[in-house]
A = this chain, B = another copy of it.
Amino acid sequence: MNEAADQSVLALCGGVGGAKLALGLCRVLGPGQLSVVVNTGDDFEHLGLHVSPDLDTVVYTLGGVADPERGWGRAQETWEFMGALGQLGDDTWFNLGDRDLAIHVLRSKWLRKGGSLSAFTMQIAKRLGIAVRVLPMTDASVQTIVATEEGDLLFQDYFVRRRCEPAVRGIRFAGIDASKPVAEFDRVVAERLRAVVICPSNPYLSVDPILAVPGLTAALVAGAAPVVAVSPIIGGQAVKGPTTKMMKELGTNVTNGAIAAHYRGLIDGIVIDRADAADRERIDVPVLVTNTLMHTLHDRERLAWEVLAFSDTLTCRSALPAVGLPAP
């Protein structure tokens, strides 16, 4: 048993793509060896309920109750609530499944009583038998605002109601200055981490809010563990979601070079897909080229193993004493 096997891993992730790799990491690591910090910039109040789309995607995925096709929400979901809502004349642009509703109702009650989002999430994860620390990026209220050609839109307005149609001019995270990482995050980074993995989520919408929480990026940079990003780009475009369109609108090339540049100063290595192997030429950190598309559970586990093994090679570099190696 090597030393690395005893150490824990920290993953940062947003929704669907990130959750897939988080599940892979969860399955290849031992119980309690994975912590996942999740974007909450997409959280919003809907119908008086506190909805945390990325946290729920991660919790449902790790808990084995996520819908495998839809990419969000719960498996074998039903929609009677939405039907009744429409009948009573209310807004039905944001779908809430009957099973999914349970977590929103419980969370809203919890938060209204003064409980923290992190404590709620840990409790729910426990009840779903998840042996992973699932942590919101912060317990503070942060809202991702998408500045578009049509003005500012709350993330869900942009993403769900407007289906990412308005061209994006910029992104900001309202409330971020007053936020701080959750206490569990501080405890996790104080441990001897084996690796920090940035999952293949949208860098601008899903990962940047996490990195923008004051003190969070600095803690990762200061830590001894290598930081490895898994690029969300495959074959010159994002697997899912608005990443490709958004990168173009923001005047960025849709390349892994642009992703690596985006994370410059933070990452010690990047994992890209074979389809984009040529991109490695323009990346100035170590690169692992492999298959990053995760169709099956096996894909998730294989990629998790490869990312960790790649990171472990970087560990050696990070572990170099500042004074240099003794002469042979």
Which chain A residues have a beta carbon within 8 Å of chain B's beta carbons? 47-49, 65, 74, 77-78, 80-81, 83-85, 87-90, 97-103, 105-106, 108-109, 112, 123-124, 127-128
Q: Known interface pairs A98-B98, A99-B83, A128-B88. Does A109 touch B48 (Cβ–Cβ under 8 Å)?
A: yes
- Contact residues in B for A47 (Cβ distance below 8 Å): 105-106, 109
Question: Could you tell me the distance between the alpha carbons of A48 and B115 in the complex, rounded to whole angstroms?
Answer: 13
Check A103–B84 contact: CB distance below 8 A: yes
- Contact residues in B for A81 (Cβ distance below 8 Å): 81, 98-99, 101-102, 105
Partner of A88, one of B49, B78, B89, B102: B102
Check B127–A99 contact: CB distance below 8 A: no
Question: Could you tell me the distance between the alpha carbons of A103 and B128 in the complex, rounded to whole angstroms?
Answer: 28
Q: 23 pairs across A/B with beta carbons < 8 Å?
A: A47-B105, A47-B106, A47-B109, A48-B105, A48-B108, A48-B109, A48-B112, A74-B84, A78-B80, A80-B98, A81-B98, A81-B102, A81-B105, A84-B99, A84-B100, A84-B101, A84-B103, A87-B128, A88-B103, A88-B127, A98-B101, A101-B101, A105-B105
Check A105–B74 contact: CB distance below 8 A: no
Check A80–B99 contact: CB distance below 8 A: yes
Question: Could you tell me the distance between the alpha carbons of A87 and B130 in the complex, rounded to whole angstroms?
Answer: 13
Rounded to whole Å, the gap between the CB of A60 and the closest CB of chain B is 11
Residue among A74, A84, A85, A127 with max Cβ neighbours from chain B (10 Å): A84
The 10 closest A-B pairs by CB, nearest first: A48-B109, A84-B102, A80-B98, A84-B99, A98-B98, A89-B127, A85-B102, A80-B99, A78-B80, A81-B98
Given contacts A77-B80, A84-B103, A85-B102, 18 further A-B contacts (CB under 8 A): A65-B87, A74-B84, A78-B78, A78-B98, A80-B80, A80-B98, A83-B99, A84-B98, A84-B100, A84-B101, A87-B102, A87-B127, A88-B103, A88-B127, A88-B128, A89-B127, A101-B101, A105-B105
